[in-house]
Chains A and B, each alone.
Chain A
Amino acid sequence: MRIIDIAVGTGYAALCLMLVFAMNPVVSEETSSQLAAQSRLDGAIDLFVERVGLVDLNLSPAADLCQTAAEMSNSTVGLSLAMDGVDCRPAPPFPIASSDLTLALPDRTVTVEAWLARG
């Protein structure tokens, strides 16, 4: 009787612990903060596109656009561009969050990526 009692108690405890580990709220919290960061990065992309303009994104030399992307980046939010086979200021390997926008322009396709670097 006592052995059965201990076995049932231990089994139930193990099941509960498994459920607690499985339902880890930290994962959701990380997802939420990452999504919030991505929304902020969308704003950075919008600001870059608005400042440079689609006409210049279509026509300007890649080096000039990369220079502008560098000027609009700071220590935490970075902007990178990919166009004409050039990938300037690529995002670090494991950013906290990143967001990108691909622009299909008449003469070239430009991908603008914004990323949030780890401190």
Chain B
Amino acid sequence: MARKGIAATLASIALFTMLVIADSALMVGEGNLAATAQLTRLESHELVLGDSLMGEASLRVLAQSQAYLAGRPGDCSSLSQYLDGAAANASLAGDQGGINYSAAARSSRWEGGAMTDNLTVLSPFSGASASALNLRVSTIVSETGGGGTVSRTRDEAHLLHIPIEPVAASFLCDFTMGGLGRAFSGLSPCNATVAATEFSAVLPSLEGEARSLGFALDAGWSLSGCRVGYWFTLVEPRVAGVTGAFDWEVRGSGEAG
């Protein structure tokens, strides 16, 4: 009887031990599956976050360039340098969904021709346009998740544009400057009435040319001694920018006599 009891106890112990071993094996298997799922989850979230960070940093660069263009008129005599000044930098850093991230973008003016770009999340500003202000934006995105187990770094360059019309503006600068210069040159004998007549005669054609290229022209003149000083502003109104519509202005001035 005692032997049977001991045998039954030993059998129970063996049975329970097997149960625990089987359960722990299952637990380890499920644990591995969970760890793999966790890695996959982190990777998928890093992918989505990385895409958005690439776009966010580039959008901030465009927004800064737009603020520069909207807040500072260009000068006909140094339009190229002025456009170079639209280059900008932007950075982002933080933590999202257990992923530590940083993104840094910097832009420079790009003077190649029209070209498409795959940063479609910034449509319609992605790609380079034949006539707009084109920017090459270099962006580095770094992400680290799961305590360093899942890291990703992306270093990409994209072409973006702000739809102002610098080519047209440059042409209008020369055209307007030439038209006003010719109108006021050779005036004699320093007669304000004659100057006013010449100005009134040339202005409609200059305004018409500006209008045909999407600009509004405002111009004026003053007589100082026997020299005529003239000035003009070309405004491209309601340019559709990344943070809303803005007016882009270019100024020019000269004198004759």
Interface residues of A (CB under 8 A from B): 1-2, 5-6, 8-9, 12-13, 16-17, 19-20, 23-25, 28-29, 31-33, 35-36, 38-39, 42-43, 45-46, 49-50, 53-55, 58-59, 99-107
Any chain A CB within 8 A of the CB of B242?
Answer: yes
Once the chains are docked, how many angstroms separate the CA of A23 from the CA of B38?
A: 19
- Distance from B16 Cβ to chain A, minimum over Cβ atoms (Å): 4
Interface members, chain B 26-48 (any A CB < 8 Å):
26-27, 29-31, 33-34, 36-38, 40-41, 44-45, 47-48
* Cross-interface CB contact of B23 among A23, A50, A105, cutoff 8 Å: A23
Q: Across the interface, do B63 and A13 meet the contact criterion of CB distance under 8 Å?
A: no
List of B residues within 8 angstroms of A43 by Cβ? 44, 48
Residue contacts A-B, CB under 8 angstroms, 21 given? A12-B13, A24-B27, A25-B26, A25-B27, A28-B30, A29-B30, A29-B33, A31-B37, A42-B44, A46-B51, A49-B121, A50-B51, A53-B120, A54-B122, A59-B243, A59-B244, A101-B49, A101-B52, A103-B52, A104-B56, A106-B63
- Known contacts A17-B16, A42-B41, A54-B59; 12 additional CB pairs below 8 A are A8-B9, A12-B16, A13-B12, A33-B37, A35-B34, A35-B41, A39-B44, A53-B123, A55-B123, A55-B242, A102-B96, A104-B92
List of B residues within 8 angstroms of A101 by Cβ? 48-49, 52, 96-97
Known: A39-B40, A59-B243, A99-B45. A32 touches B34 (CB 8 A): yes
Interface residues of B (CB under 8 A from A): 2, 5-6, 9, 12-13, 16-17, 19-20, 23-24, 26-27, 29-31, 33-34, 36-38, 40-41, 44-45, 47-49, 51-52, 55-56, 59-60, 63, 92, 94, 96-97, 120-125, 242-244
* Cross-interface CB contact of B45 among A12, A29, A42, A102, cutoff 8 Å: A42
List of B residues within 8 angstroms of A1 by Cβ? 2
List of B residues within 8 angstroms of A24 by Cβ? 27
Once the chains are docked, how many angstroms separate the CA of A72 from the CA of B92?
A: 29
Task: Identify the 3 closest CB pairs spanning chains A and B, nearest first.
Answer: A28-B30, A16-B16, A35-B37
Q: Across the interface, do A103 and B56 meet the contact criterion of CB distance under 8 Å?
A: yes
* Cross-interface CB contact of B60 among A50, A59, A106, cutoff 8 Å: A106
In the complex, which residue of chain A has the Cβ closest to the Cβ of B120?
A: A50
Once the chains are docked, how many angstroms separate the CA of A1 from the CA of B120?
A: 81
* Cross-interface CB contact of A32 among B16, B37, B96, cutoff 8 Å: B37
Once the chains are docked, how many angstroms separate the CA of A39 from the CA of B9?
A: 49
Q: Label chain B's interface by main secondary structure.
A: helix
Once the chains are docked, how many angstroms separate the CA of A102 from the CA of B97?
A: 10
Once the chains are docked, how many angstroms separate the CA of A64 from the CA of B51?
A: 23
- Distance from A48 Cβ to chain B, minimum over Cβ atoms (Å): 10
Once the chains are docked, how many angstroms separate the CA of A3 from the CA of B121?
A: 76
Once the chains are docked, how many angstroms separate the CA of A94 from the CA of B47?
A: 26
